[in-house]
Structure 1
Amino acid sequence: MMTELEPQEKKRLWFELGLVAALSLGQSAIYAIVRLADISTRGPISDAQAKLNTSLNPRPGFDLIYQLFDIGFTLVPVALALYLLTRDQGAGHLSARLGVDGHRVRDLGQGTLIFLIIGIGTLGVYAGGRALGITAEVQPANLGDHWWTVPVLLLAAAKNGILEEVIIFGFGAERLRRLGYGPWTIIIGLAVFRASYHLYQGIGPFIGNVAMGLIFGWYFMRRGRLMPLVWAHFIIDAVGFLAPGVLTLVDSR
């Protein structure tokens, strides 16, 4: 049975939760909401484009440097979240709780299975959203043709998987659990939060990410392991970034 937290402890947990969110996915959610308002007041959402992995400099060498800096600094809030969790729980307990305790083959296998389930659904939601005019045209790879393009796209996919799953479940779910919220309140709340920072892609991806969040949340609350979700997210993004023609094929139908 969970003990009642002191008011000061509750304030500390909420402050840390808000701070980490404001430095990472919460900030993205605010920008995504404004972006959706922008594109929806310009014309049909389906006419808009959502470009991912865009070039940051016209000179390839500096573009690579900027891309690596962007990936690295984006992961700083993850380091902050893990520090805060380690301070409360200890490194050993945290490793076991998050599922980073050495079961690499099993975690990869389960992550691949989750990818297969989510991946098919993602294409269906994207196709349906485009047909209904509630989803922007997603262009997942816009870095140009350089020797470093594929490695950077893979790093970007890894960054997304680590950032989102550690912040949402590794940190967010743990904090909300300590604050006394029940499993399904946490699962649904975090699923909506995950979907909110995808609103710049339109309503369709919002719905799809709510569904993805519910599946991910159910798995994490049941299994208590984070790495399969990181693997699944990495594979989903890696395939999307390296095979953008799949979305083009869906769009052309």
Structure 2
Amino acid sequence: MTSLARDWLRPDRPERPEPVLEDDERRRIRIEIWIVFGITLGLSGARSLVSLIDSLVRPEPLSRQHVALNAPQAAADLLDLLAQLLSALQLLGWGALGGYLLVRAGIRLTSVGLGWRRRDVLWGVGLTALIGIPGLALYFAAWKLGFNLAVQPSTLDDTWWRPVALVLSAFGNAFAEEMLVIGYMLTRLRQLSFRENSGLLAAAVLRGSYHLYQGFGGFVGNVVMGLVFGRVWQKTNRLWPLIVAHTLLDVCSFVGYSLLKGHLSFLP
């Protein structure tokens, strides 16, 4: 194994944040992690598991069942817009919670990669291509093989505000997931003396868990995405490229689907 490969597969733990040694503080961090994810993405993971089980016990095969990522939430047009904006605001709040708790613990947000650099956009575009094309192929393969539901990225009506709502939803998802699962969780696990690979695997499985409602393909694809994104963060300590890439992936999926649906026969 070359030194470069070893460096990526078995990275050394950084000096900061320093491990927490006091028992009471370690216990407080563990409780905090359970609370944070018990009301955010961990709870979403539990609900996704229930949703997958419900799909599996239905008489229709998974590939003939549909799930919408962005669906109408109200009958009246303006009320639906307000509901969509509130959903995006909730996601931003989840991400902000993770950042706030790190700051309260004496950890600067710049130390987890939230200091903006112009090249973060280029890195984000590169990650989008790295994850997006194989991820799309994996989804279609899993769907055709019967391991995944037919995912409809958007079923919103054709309104003037649909693109705005979908872009905000994409950014909200990206900020919440990358801030909580990468910036917050991996930092906290480092404080609890988790090895880099152990923390990476835990974060990746968590990311996959709240996509279980899509089927097994959604779980596997997001675990792989979590492994890639988590390792990039561990090696570069840059969070914005992940947020940029995740936002672009979701924008292409949400907005692209809403524009192409009805024009491409293979889309669900």
Structure 1 residues 225 and 74: alpha-carbon distance in aligned structure 2, compared to 1, 3 A threshold? same
Q: 2:113 aligns with which of 99, 111, 120?
A: 99
Cα deviation 1:41-92 (Å, max 9, x = unaligned): 10311111111111111110111111112211232222222111011125xx
Q: 1:53 aligns with which of 44, 50, 70?
A: 70
Is residue 180 of structure 2 the alignment partner of residue 167 of structure 1? yes
Q: TM-score, length-normalised on structure 2?
A: 0.88
Amino acid at match of 1:19: I
Note the C-alpha offset of 1:4.
Answer: 5.3
Identity of aligned residues (%): 35
Amino acid at match of 2:116: G
Q: 2:61 aligns with which of 30, 36, 44?
A: 44
Is residue 68 of structure 2 the alignment partner of residue 71 of structure 1? no
Is residue 256 of structure 2 the alignment partner of residue 243 of structure 1? yes
Structure 2's unaligned 5+ residue stretches are 1-14
Amino acid at match of 2:44: S
Structure 1's unaligned 5+ residue stretches are none
Structure 1 residues 190 and 34: alpha-carbon distance in aligned structure 2, compared to 1, 3 A threshold? same
In 1, Cα distance between equivalents of 2:185 and 2:195: 13
In 2, Cα distance between equivalents of 1:138 and 1:165: 22
Note the C-alpha offset of 1:143.
Answer: 1.2
Tell me the equivalent position of 2:11: none
Q: Secondary structure at the match of 2:105?
A: helix
Amino acid at match of 2:40: S
Tell me the equivalent position of 2:241: 228
CA contact (8 A) 1:98 1:226 kept: yes
Cα deviation 1:96-150 (Å, max 9, x = unaligned): x2222230x2001000000001000111101110121001000001110111100
Q: 1:35 aligns with which of 51, 54, 58?
A: 51
Note the C-alpha offset of 1:9.
Answer: 0.7
Is residue 30 of structure 2 the alignment partner of residue 14 of structure 1? yes
In 1, Cα distance between equivalents of 2:131 and 2:90: 28
In 1, Cα distance between equivalents of 2:45 and 2:37: 9
Q: Where does 1:77-226 land on structure 2 (aligned, <5 Å)?
A: 77-90=94-107, 93-95=108-110, 97-103=111-117, 105-226=118-239
CA contact (8 A) 2:19 2:191 kept: no
Structure 1 residues 186 and 144: alpha-carbon distance in aligned structure 2, compared to 1, 3 A threshold? same
Q: TM-score, length-normalised on structure 1?
A: 0.93
CA contact (8 A) 1:130 1:251 kept: no
CA contact (8 A) 1:135 1:205 kept: yes
